[in-house]
Chains A and B, each alone.
Chain A
Amino acid sequence: MNAKDTFKLTASGDREIIMTRVFDAPRKLVFDTLTKPEFVNRWLLGPDGWTMPICQIDLKVGGAYRYVWRHDTKGTEMSVGGIYREIAPPERVVHTEKFEQAWYPGEAIVTTVLTEQSGRTTLTCTILYDSRETRDTVFKSGMERGVVASYDRLESILTEHAAK
């Protein structure tokens, strides 16, 4: 199967979202693109018009990361940060995720696991919200706007979830 067609996204139970995707590259390389700032700011961008002018990663347990996105023409900014809890290259990273915008309460714990088979890497990313309320808020805002919104309005909701 073409690696591009392997993306899966599911909601699990009350507080979790699980994503999987296959990449046609060894996991050492995939791990680098997830954890080195000079790579992260080249792919974790979302819809057209967004760039990541600030991308800081202190890759150690207890170390912090911070990403700031900016919309080229509108000047809108989004930012997310967190702390690394586990780092086991090239197979596993666990970090917290907290958006700095006030409308996004609570925190999530993001667990990323990489497995390699015949030179291809499967990424499994589990996002566990700290409470049902947090996930509800995320879901509700996404749902209410998502149903009626144009793609343009959707982008702000989507960018909330841009942390890795």
Chain B
Amino acid sequence: MQPYGYGLSSSQRLDAVFAALADPTRRAILARLASGQASVLELAKPFNMSQPAVSKHLKVLERAGLISRGRDAQRRPSRLEARPLAEATAWLAGYREFWERNFRNLDNLLEELKREDKRIRRAKRQRSTK
């Protein structure tokens, strides 16, 4: 087994991680591996994919360091590697926190503006009925 991110610089590695995560099938494979290791055959079945197609996705995930493959020549089970995934999501988590906070501010501002809008319309109505 190669150490994670073998042969890649840190920015290339992160690039590989995000490219790997951009594909929904690969995200689904990672989700499956989160509940335990699996062979190509075991992965192919639920995803309704050919084994070569699954192998191709596994290669991308392995290169990104997101999974490792067992030595067993027959099964070569894939296993989730948590660290690079955690590093990549830590960045997104920071970004997320920043925007969640801003959007909550925006919710409050919108509520305030809606109330103001209602008040103005009510005042106009009252004037016109006088």
The residues of A with any CB-CB pair to B shorter than 8 Å are 3-4, 7, 9, 11-14, 17, 19, 21, 23-25, 29-30, 32-33, 39, 42-47, 132, 136-137, 139-140, 142-144, 146-147, 154, 157-159, 161-162
A23 touches B11 (CB 8 A): no
How many positions in chain B have a CB within 8 Å of any CB in the partner chain?
Answer: 36
Residue of chain B at shortest CB distance from A9: B96
Is B72 in the interface zone, CB < 8 Å from A?
no
Q: Contacts A4-B104, A140-B10, A143-B87 known; A33 to B110 CB distance under 8 Å?
A: yes
Q: Whole-angstrom distance from the CB of B60 to the nearest CB of chain A?
A: 13
B91 touches A142 (CB 8 A): yes
CA distance A2 to B103 in the complex (A): 13
A-B interface contact total, Cβ < 8 Å: 110
Mask: chain B, 92-115; 1 = CB below 8 Å from A; 0 = not: 111111111111111111110110
A11 touches B110 (CB 8 A): no
A46 touches B96 (CB 8 A): no
CA distance A25 to B116 in the complex (A): 13
Residue of chain B at shortest CB distance from A148: B90
A-B contact pairs, 23 of them (CB 8 A): A7-B96, A11-B21, A11-B22, A13-B19, A17-B95, A25-B111, A29-B110, A29-B114, A29-B117, A42-B109, A43-B105, A43-B108, A46-B101, A47-B101, A140-B10, A140-B14, A146-B93, A147-B86, A147-B90, A158-B94, A158-B98, A162-B98, A162-B102
Q: Contacts A9-B95, A9-B99, A158-B94 known; A43 to B109 CB distance under 8 Å?
A: yes
